[in-house]
Structure formats: structure tokens, C-alpha cells
Amino acid sequence: MTRSYFGTDGIRGRTNDVPMTPEIAMRVGQAAGVHFLRGDHRHRVVIGKDTRLSGYMVESALVAGFTSVGMDVVMVGPMPTPAVAMLTRSMRADLGVMISASHNPYYDNGIKLFGPDGYKLSDADEVAIEALIGKSPKLAASPDIGRARRIEDARGRYIHSVKSAFPEHLRLDGLRIVVDCANGAAYHVAPSALWELGAEIVTLGVSPNGININDKCGSTAPETLQQKVIEVGAHIGIALDGDADRLIVVDDKGEIIDGDQLMALIGASWARRGLLRGGGIVATVMSNLGLERFLGGKGLGLLRTQVGDRYVVEMMRAKDYNIGGEQSGHIILSDHATTGDGLVAALQVLAELVESGKPAHELLHQFDALPQLLKNVRFAGGAPLEDAAVKRAIADAETRLIGNGRLLIRKSGTEPLIRVMAEGEDEVLVETLVDQICEAVRIAAG
């Protein structure tokens, strides 16, 4: 079945345009509710959101949908995506929902669904829910309509869970940390957790107003964080995205550290301490060849998946790996969380910083990355990758990179973009090939 609503990370789009309308959100609630009404117990769904203005609208529509088919709703307000996954499990809920478009601008929103185990839904579950969205649901009888309530202690529960991932014998005393919460879901919990562990905190992006989420802040716009780290003489900077499931770090010299370097650090540390399972880590096709070579030099492997943290998690579960992630900063540490958790990953990095006694710029640069360039081309419709000129440009680039690099061309699963990535030993060649392909795509896309 072709999926009309679900992409690589749930349902996402511009608010008040299909598929992110209140009507469709209500139908998603009804369909997901019906799909997870299993057994004769009282059913429950946990709903969290980030700080987007449209979150109220989507939340209300989902509540109407779930309660109309007889499912109780627990609303936790603005909370990170991994917190919703954790609360879904700990509250023995049948389903979890996060209302967020992650790193996208405020005018987008999305719906991410978690099963009772706290993991994102399988393709099979999403297909089944899609099939139900277009059908009239069986509404609950009047006495069986679901009830909705808010809980006030969700933040404390999540902070406690996050801190349990930090070694008990360590503290963050003496560390000055700049934390950028992207005016998003972690604006309260991230600074609180770090402060409780003893750090001196300098905050950015902790004043959400509904429309400033990810606006010149957070993991996708770390320039302000870089400046602030230098300005205040911080030991390290931490940037989360709008729903706090990804992490980018800035070292004490203001240099950006991506997810590949962070996975290398955590993977090597866990291997040294006997905590690493699977003999390596899981990453996507986007991760740098330098990471693969680094791991190989330590006798560790790298399994690659298609882009999307859900596919990383699926591979981790199938092969019993406990570290995986993406170059963009989604890092999944399955000993502590069922999905990417920027704060949990940050605490692993901070633990290494404390124990090593090294400055961040020395500790965090684990390997020399090969020159890699990613560019995006926006398109309005059609299939530019099927164009003959685009195919010729791609074939030519692949031929020129044989033995010296690699090429990856794909459509984004969350935005109308063609992503063009190349990496190799020759930086000039990489840039030339990416530009040639991008130009061919632009012409084909009109």
C-alpha cells in the first residue's frame, strides 16, 4: 500500500495544509486509537508536544479523535520526544504521541507515534493506521467515551530518568556549559537536569513564544552557540533541536562537533568499558567514511541503514547493538532510551569530559573526516531524479568517485527536497560533482 500520510518520521507538513489539518489529526487519533484498542482493559494514550503555536490545535484534535473511540488521554505538555517514549512505557500506555516537526520551522508540525514499548511504530502498523484513516471509525458508546487529563510531574519524571543515565560517581561541578534548547521542547528540562548534576549553566533558546522554535538557534543553527561558548569561556556547548531528540556539540574553541564524532567517542568509551554490544555501532549511509575507518582501527564495525533514525533503531534491535545514530545528531543509546535523546547523549559526552580531564577540543575530535558535502535542491513536484540529464550527471559522478569516495542522492522523507551528498579524498572534486548534480536537478525541477 502506498502511504499518503506517513513519511520517514511520522506525519509532517505545513500546518492547516494537508496532511497537517485539524480534521486529519482527529482522524489519525481515531485510526490509531482503533488500531491499538486491544484487550478489555481501559486504554490510554500519552500525548506530548513541542512549543509550536499549532501544537494546541493539533493536540485538541488528537484528543477528540482518541476519546471518541474510547481511549483515555494523558497530556504532558511541552516535553522532548524521548520523554514521551519513556512515559508511554512507564505509564503502561497503549500508545504515545509526540506533536512536533523536529528541526523544521514553526509553521510546520508533525505527529510521531510510539507503541506501548516506547519504540516508533513499524511500517506495518503505520500502513494499518493509514488504511483506517479513510474509513468511518466505530465510535464509542456514550458511557465509554475516553477521558482526558493533564499530569503536572512529567518534567520531574523525565529529569530523573535522564540523570540515571549519568554515572553515579560523577558530577559536573566546575563545568561551564552553554545549552541551546532551540526554544523547543527541552527549554525547561535540559537546563534543570544539567544544573542538578552540578554544572554552571548558560542558557540559549529557552524563551519559546510559539513561533521562534528553531529560529536561528538549536542544533540546525549553532552559530549563536559557537559565539556564546567563546564569549563566556565555556568548557563546552550543547545544542538540541525542537523536540530534543538530536544533539550537536560545540567545543571550547567554538568548533562544531557532529553526530559522527560523538558516536565515535561514545562507542570507543563503551567498548573500552565493556558496555558495547554488537561489536560496533549502527549508522546511516550519511555517516562519514572517517567514522568507519576509525571504528575499524579499533576492531569495531559499522552497520549502515537508510536515512532515518527509525531504521537505525530497527537494525539495532535486530542485531542487538546498543549504540546507533545519525550524523545529524540523532543518537540512540538503547541501554537508556528507545529513541534518539539529545540530553542522554550529551550526558555521555560530559561524563567522558569529566573523567578524561581533557579539554573538549582535544577529546571530541576522534577522527579526521573525509571531505563531505551535502546540498539540498527544493522542487515543487514531479520526479526530477527520473530525468535523463540528472541520471547522466549521477552516473558520471559515480564513475569519477570509484575507489576514492561515494555518492548518495535521495528524496527527503520530510520535506520537498532532493538531497545530494558526496564525499571523497579530493575536496575540489567532491564540490564539483555535487554542484553539477544539483544544477541538473534544478533544471529538471523547473
Which residue in the list 54, 68, 100, 102 is annotated as catalytic? 102
Could you tell me which residues are beta bridge partners of residue 323? 333
Q: Which three cell numbers stand for residue 416?
A: 520537498
Q: Which three cell numbers stand for residue 247?
A: 544533539
Query: By the 8 A CB rule, do 34 and 138 touch?
Result: yes
Helices 189-196, 154-163: crossing angle, 10 deg rounding: 50
How buried is 255 (Cβ within 10 angstroms: 0-12 exposed, 13-18 middle, 19+ buried)? middle
For residue 211, the SS3 value is coil
Could you tell me which residues are beta bridge partners of residue 180? 204, 239
How buried is 203 (Cβ within 10 angstroms: 0-12 exposed, 13-18 middle, 19+ buried)? middle
Question: Strands 176-180, 95-99: parallel, antiparallel or unpaired by DSSP?
Answer: unpaired
DSSP state of 370: P
**Cα-flanking dihedrals φ and ψ of residue 263, to 5°?**
-65, -35
By residue count, the chain amounts to: 446
Sign for the CA dihedral angle at 213, 216, 219, 225 comes to negative
Distances (CA, A) of 65 to 5, 33, 37, 71, 72: 17, 8, 13, 9, 11
Query: By the 8 A CB rule, do 170 and 355 touch?
Result: yes
Q: Which residues, at least 6 apart from 336, have a Cβ–Cβ distance to it below 8 Å? A: 164, 165, 344
Task: Please say if 102 is a catalytic residue.
Answer: yes
Q: Which residues of 26-35 are buried (b: 16+ CB within 10 A; e: fewer)?
A: bbbbbbbbbb
Question: Strands 405-411, 108-114: parallel, antiparallel or unpaired by DSSP?
Answer: unpaired
Longest dimension (CA), the chain: 69
Instruction: Give the whole-angstrom CA distance, residue 106 versus residue 242.
Output: 9
Which residues are known catalytic residues?
A: 102
